[in-house]
Amino acid sequence: MPGPVSQTTLRRDLRASCVDGSMFSVMVGAGELYFPAFAFALGAGKTASGLVATVPLLVGGGAQLISPWAVARLRSNGRWCIWTAGVQGACVAALAVAAFAGGLPVPWLFAIVSCYMAAGLASGPSWTTWIEALVPAAIRSRYFARRTLWCHAAQLAAVAGAAAVLPADGSSGPMTAFAALFLVAAAARGVSTACLVSQSDPVPQPPGEVHLSMRQLLTDAAHQPARRFCVYLLGTHLAVQIALPFVTSYLLGELRLPLPTLSLLLAVPFAARIVALPWLGGVARRLGARRLMWIGAIAFIPAAALWPISGHVAWIALVQAVTGVAMAAFDLATLLLWFETTRPEERTSVLTTYQFWYSAAVVLGSAVGSVLLVSLGEGRAAFVAVFLVSAAARVLACGLLARAGRVAPLR
């Protein structure tokens, strides 16, 4: 085992990781969030525009199963994370080129987004294993709360900035605007990748790193904490994705909001996260990550149930704020609980398997939502049904969290 890094190196790594996360968030805020709107501008329907954010996940979830093999081949979680970050940036750059050229066929959009999703999913498990070796346990709750705050601030700036770029009339030259956004997103991922390259790699692979089979994860008693935690996460993602992919379609296709208004509404959840995170980080330090997860689980319910009440922009902004608080609590608690429920030598393997099932859960949830939308005519009543079904499913997911029980940190 290598010795602890110096304080100078630690500070440099923590700063680099913060910049990496912030630039990654800019990529998401200026690029990924607008994939459905880009599909809509290309002529895809309401349902297809929503599915562009989810169906590629299934392809990506299958492709990222090579992660344990790739890490073993490269002998480093960090190197694999760097490679996948580069691929993801290249995919966004390809979308920028396509938009500058005037567009591309929708099937090609699905293919490029699938590659983007695969690279993003593949980097996640390796990054989680890598970052644990970089961040001392004593400062994790405080550091990740602060890092997450900076990430949300960067994403908020990217989403809000898009409001100044996108035309108020969606039919007035939107391709140039999308090209500019995707170019910013690609450049941000380039900076993010450079930050990853600059970070230390004190433990390229945890001692005794193993690749667990799916059967071991499903049956071994030793993996019960991780298994139950995964089941809860999958249930929640399925419930949320019944509605979430179709929010953009609802705002653009049903309420017919202009693109700048859409951008401002998409920015609201990130503003809410920034406001809520200092308090949520304190909850994690005082009461633990599991209590924090309960806050997120319960807040997710009204985040869906409130949508049908009104189509007024001010009301939608309120609903988006509730969504932001729920997601802030959920995301921070998820990261911290991975450290508590999985061993370092098994984490890349466990998270890779989990992300395959996560992809399936997201696609299944979006399939349920799309079937409801199509069968009910894709009108306002159909969207109301989708939001209410999603809220009911989120209530059921809370039962899975209760079943997970308390977990003690693994040594």
1: in domain: no
DSSP one-letter code for 203: -
42: in domain: yes
Q: Is the pLDDT of residue 1 over 90?
A: no
For the beta carbon of residue 323, count every other beta carbon within 10 angstroms: 24
CA-based nearest residue to 134, from 21, 20, 17: 17
Tell me the per-residue pLDDT of 31-84, one tens digit each, with 9 for 90 and over: 988 888 888 888 776 677 667 767 787 777 777 778 888 888 888 889 999 999
**pTM for the whole structure:** 0.72
Measure the CA angle with vertex 136, ends 20 and 82; round to 5°.
Answer: 30
So what's the pLDDT on residue 20? Answer: 95
5 or 15, greater pLDDT: 15
148: in domain: yes
Tell me the per-residue pLDDT of 342-354, one tens digit each, with 9 for 90 and over: 777 777 778 888 8
pLDDT bin (cut points 50, 70, 90) of residue 209 is low
Number of separate domains in the chain: 1
288: in domain: yes
Tell me the per-residue pLDDT of 211-246, one tens digit each, with 9 for 90 and over: 666 666 767 766 777 788 888 999 999 999 898 888
184: in domain: yes
Residue by residue, DSSP assigns 221-250 as GGGHHHHHHHHHHHHHHHHHHTTGGGHHHI
**CATH number (domain holding residue 90):** 1.20.1250.20
Which residue intervals of 42-139 are DSSP H helices?
46-51, 55-63, 67-74, 77-100, 106-134
Phi and psi of 45, rounded to 5°? -75, 180
Range of 394's domain? 7-404
Tell me the per-residue pLDDT of 247-283, one tens digit each, with 9 for 90 and over: 888 888 788 888 788 878 888 888 898 888 888 888 8
